[in-house]
Amino acid sequence: MTKPAYLRAFFCYNSAAAKICSSVYFPPRDCCNCGMDTSTFRVHTLLLADGERMPLLLGGDLQPQYYPTLFITSQIRNAGRAVNSISAELASIKRLYTWAERRKIDLEARLGAREYLRDFELDDLCRFVCERLYKTPGGRSGAQLKLREAKSREVRIKAESRYRHLMFLTRYLQWLSERLVESRSGCLDQGARAEICAMVANLGARKPRKAASSRLNARMGLTVDDQQKLVRVSGMRSIENTQYLGVEQRDELIVRLLLHLAIRAGELLALKTDDFDFQKNEVVIQRRPDDPDDPRVQQPLVKTCDRRLPVADDLMKLVYAYILGPRRSFQQAKRHKFLFVVHRNGPHAGKPLTAKGLAKLFERLRGLADLPSLTPHVLRHTANERFSELMDELGVPEAREEQLRSYNMGWRDGSGTAAAYTRRHVAAKAADASKRLQEKLNARK
């Protein structure tokens, strides 16, 4: 099967993709290589008719790259991995092909001829992975990726990101090398397998060590004063939102839902109006992967477990007032059930709020509340710290507290994730114990 034939088979085999098959151009075989004659690679997500999100690696000619598409389809997508996992692996593969293009290396020809990457090339690849990619101005059509050399530690990506990139690349390079050698030689002998394993092992040995995270710089929740200030400014009409109908009502509801329910940003954006039971004062946090009713290409997702959460009367009244008030005034909001919509005037008014829109909202709130570290996830930490304080007041045993917290947060029992969300509470209890111990020692003198 030729390269374009395989790509065409993917779209035609999936009946949900049939609607977009006619709009996808497949170049001749000679053009569908690793993209050596292109200048830009990008990860683009297709929204299929059945709601599935399919990320693809495109070259400068906007055509899918054959081997990356084959890899993520056969090795990742068919294994049931989430769309975000596919996008993460493609982002690493994009760096590999960008590096090969800039170094004028025909990666697939080299590997197929059993000319594997040498030590100095692997070193250079690792340095390239540590660098950040920037976009130059020029609008959507003229944007080009520009590589900025990592001359200081501030422009290098984090060790965790470097580790993840190299982990993905070792897996892809081994798969790609074995497939190319086997397809061009007819078989994969022990000698070729050993050479490939040696190259992959050399690359894997360059993965950075996972340094222990700093407790001093760890993310913590907001203080009580900061919480009150945030709620106050979120419902204020500012110069930026005066012209948009009901936007301050929406923003205040967003902040209160994040603070009270401790849900993630993706879970917030995935809420639908019928997820709320106004008679029982409950809301359902429900997993809906590949939701065909969600028009957003980057679909907000519920990462872990479904759950049903109680909602206070005052908060439920705010939800009800928003649904029957500002949200109802948008014509496009009547075409979907997602709770939060775009309020900015224009063609997107009334459409479901996107992750970028939520990020812009919190960028504005950071300035209004003078909280430079404010993010939706910080509010999740804040809610967890308040939960810990309540459990202490009620005298709930630690084992039972962990079970309750895991359900509310959507974690699996015994996952151990709770430790990352109780740092401020644990630090306060440790400080109190240390202070009492010092006072007791001073009393003995």
Q: Which helix (H) or strand (E) holds 277?
A: strand 276-277
Cα–Cα distance measured from residue 227 to residue 187, given in angstroms and rounded to the nearest whole number: 64
Residue in 368, 127, 334 with CA at minimum distance from that of residue 230: 368
The domain made up of 215-445 is a member of CATH 3.30.2000.20: no
Separation of first and last alpha carbons in the chain:
86
Cα–Cα distance measured from residue 154 to residue 173, given in angstroms and rounded to the nearest whole number: 29
For residue 218, the 8-state DSSP code is S
Q: For residue 147, what are its two tokens?
A: 């590589």
Q: Which residues contact 65 (CB under 8 A, 6 or more apart)?
A: 32, 34, 35, 41, 56, 57, 58, 59, 97
Q: Please, are residues 226 and 369 in contact by the beta-carbon 8 Å criterion?
A: yes
In sequence order, what E strands does 69-178 have? 133-135, 145-147
**409 in helix, strand or coil?**
helix
Cα–Cα distance measured from residue 343 to residue 389, given in angstroms and rounded to the nearest whole number: 37
Q: Chunked in runs of 10, what are the mean pLDDT values of the chain (445 residues)?
A: 46 43 37 43 89 90 91 88 89 93 93 93 90 50 40 56 90 94 87 93 85 57 90 73 75 94 94 95 92 91 88 95 94 95 92 94 91 92 89 86 86 71 66 73 68
- Tell me the pairing of strands 53-58 and 133-135: unpaired
**Hey, how many other C-beta atoms are within 10 angstroms of the C-beta on 16?**
16
pLDDT of residue 391: 87
Q: For residue 414, what are its two tokens?
A: 């015994």
Give me the sign of the Cα torsion angle 417, 423, 428, 432.
positive
How is 32-94 classified by DSSP, letter by letter?
SSS-TT-S--EEEEEE-TTS-EEEEEE-TTSPBPHHHHHHIIIIIGGGT--HHHHHHHHHHHH
pLDDT of residue 145: 39
Cα–Cα distance measured from residue 94 to residue 68, given in angstroms and rounded to the nearest whole number: 9
Cα–Cα distance measured from residue 185 to residue 190, given in angstroms and rounded to the nearest whole number: 13
pLDDT of residue 219: 65
Q: Please, are residues 199 and 116 in contact by the beta-carbon 8 Å criterion?
A: yes
Q: Please, are residues 134 and 98 in contact by the beta-carbon 8 Å criterion?
A: no
Ranges of CATH 1.10.443.10 domains, the chain: 215-445
Q: Which residues contact 17 (CB under 8 A, 6 or more apart)?
A: 10, 11, 46, 48, 49, 54
**Residue linked to tokens 């202490």:** 392
Cα–Cα distance measured from residue 223 to residue 171, given in angstroms and rounded to the nearest whole number: 44
Q: Please, are residues 165 and 95 in contact by the beta-carbon 8 Å criterion?
A: yes
User: What burial letters (b/e) apply to 112-148, b meaning 16+ CB within 10 Å?
Assistant: beeebbeeebbebbbebbbbeeeeeeeeeeeeeeeee
Report the amino acid identity of residue 242. Answer: T
